[in-house]
A and B are shown apart, each in its own frame.
Chain A
Amino acid sequence: MIIGRDLTRIYGMGAVKVRALNGVSVKIQKGDFVGIMGPSGSGKSTLLHMFGLLDRPTSGTILIDGVDAGTLDERARTQFRLRRLGYVFQDYALVPELTAKENVYLPSMARGMTAQECTLACSEILTLFGLGNRIHHLPGEMSGGEQQRVAIARALVNRPTLLLADEPCANLDSQNSKIILDLFQRLNRDLHQTIVMVSHEEWHKKYFDRIISMKDGVIEEEVNRSEGGELTPSP
Chain B
Amino acid sequence: MFEESKVAFFLAKRSILRGNKGTLSLTILIIGMVFVNLIFLPSIITGVAVLFNQQSIDYSYGNLVIEPKKNQVYISQVSELQRKLERIPGITGVSPRYLTSATISYKGNVVTPVLYAINPRDEQAVLRIATKVSSGSYLADGDTGQVVLGSRLAGNEDEKLDVVPSLGGVSVGRVVEISFNNGVTRQYRVKGIVTSNSFSVDSNAFITKKEYEDVFGLEDMANQVLVRTIETGKENEMRNTLLSFGVQEKIWTWQEKSANFLNQIIGSFNIINFIGTAVSLVIAIVVIFIVIFINTVYRRKQIGILKAIGIDRSIIIKSYLFQALFIFAIGTLMGGIFLLLILQLLAANPIVFPGGPVAPVVDLPLIVRSTMSLFIVSLIAGYVPAWITTREDILSAIRG
**A75 closest partner in B (C-beta):** B312
Residue in A79, A89, A109, A158 whose beta carbon sits within 8 Å of that of B7 in the complex: A109
Give min CB distance, B305 to chain A, whole Å. 5
The interface on chain B, measured as residues whose beta carbon lies within 8 A of the other chain's beta carbons, has a size of 25
CB distance from A196 to the nearest CB of B (A): 16
Which residue of A87, A97, A106 contacts B311 across the interface (Cβ within 8 Å)?
A: A106
A110 and B311 in contact (CB under 8 A), knowing A54-B394, A54-B395, A95-B306? yes
With A96-B302, A109-B10 known as contacts, the answer to whether A79 contacts B312 (CB < 8 A) is yes
Q: Is B14 an interface residue (CB 8 A)?
A: yes
Q: B310 at the A/B interface (Cβ < 8 Å)? A: yes
B14 touches A82 (CB 8 A): no
Q: Which of A52, A85, A102, A112 contacts B14 (CB 8 A)?
A: A102
* Contact in complex: B3, A112 (CB < 8 Å): yes
Check A93–B305 contact: CB distance below 8 A. Answer: yes
Q: Are B310 and A78 in contact (CB under 8 A)?
A: yes
A49 part of interface (Cβ distance < 8 Å): yes
Bits for A143-163, please: 1 = Cβ < 8 Å to B, else 0.
000000000001100100000
Partner of B3, one of A74, A97, A110: A110
Distance in Å from the Cβ of A53 to the closest Cβ of chain B?
9
Is there an interface contact between B310 and A79, defined as CB atoms closer than 8 Å? yes
Q: Which of B373-400 contact A (CB under 8 A)?
A: 393-395, 398
> Is A83 in the interface zone, CB < 8 Å from B?
yes
Contacts of A182 in B (CB 8 A): none
- Answer whether residue A55 sits at the interface, using C-beta atoms and an 8 A cutoff: yes
Residues of B within 8 A of A106 (CB): 7, 10-11, 306, 309, 311
Could you tell me which residues of chain A, from 96 to 155, have a CB within 8 Å of some CB in chain B? 96-98, 102, 106-107, 109-110, 112, 138, 154-155
The verdict on B167 contacting chain A, using a C-beta distance below 8 Å, is: no
A residues less than 8 Å from B189 (CB atoms): none
A210 within 8 A of B: no
Would you call B15 an interface residue if the criterion is a C-beta within 8 Å of the partner chain's C-beta atoms?
yes
Contact A82 B311 (CB under 8 A): yes
B19 at interface, CB cutoff 8 A: yes
The CB with the most chain A CB atoms within 10 A, among B14, B306, B310, is that of: B310
What chain A residues lie within 8 Å of B19 (beta carbons)?
97
Mark each residue of chain A from 177 to 203: 1 if its CB lies under 8 Å from any CB of chain B, else 0: 000000000000000000000000000
Chain A interface size, as a band, is 20 to 34
CB distance from A135 to the nearest CB of B (A): 15
The contact string, 1 if C-beta is below 8 Å from chain B, for chain A 67-101, is 00000001100111111010101000111111000
B310 touches A81 (CB 8 A): yes
Do A78 and B311 touch (CB < 8 A)?
A: yes
- The minimal Cβ–Cβ distance linking A127 to chain B, given in whole angstroms, is 21
Closest Cβ neighbor of A115 among chain B residues: B6
Task: Using CB atoms, name the residue of chain A closest to B314.
Answer: A75
- Closest-CB distance, A28 to chain B (whole angstroms): 20
CB < 8 Å neighbour of A78 from B11, B305, B312: B312
Query: Which of A96, A97, A110 contacts B315 (CB under 8 A)?
Result: A110
A155 and B310 CA atoms in complex are apart in Å by 10
B228 at the interface (CB under 8 A from A): no
Interface 1/0 per residue, B1-45 and A, CB below 8 Å: 001001100110011001100000000000000000000000000
> Closest CB-CB distance, A171 to chain B, in whole Å?
15
| Contact B15–A97 (Cβ < 8 Å) | yes
Are B302 and A55 in touch, CB under 8 angstroms?
A: no
Q: Is the CB of B14 within 8 A of A83?
A: no
Q: List 10 A-B contacts (CB under 8 A).
A: A75-B312, A78-B311, A78-B312, A79-B312, A81-B309, A82-B310, A106-B309, A109-B6, A109-B10, A112-B3
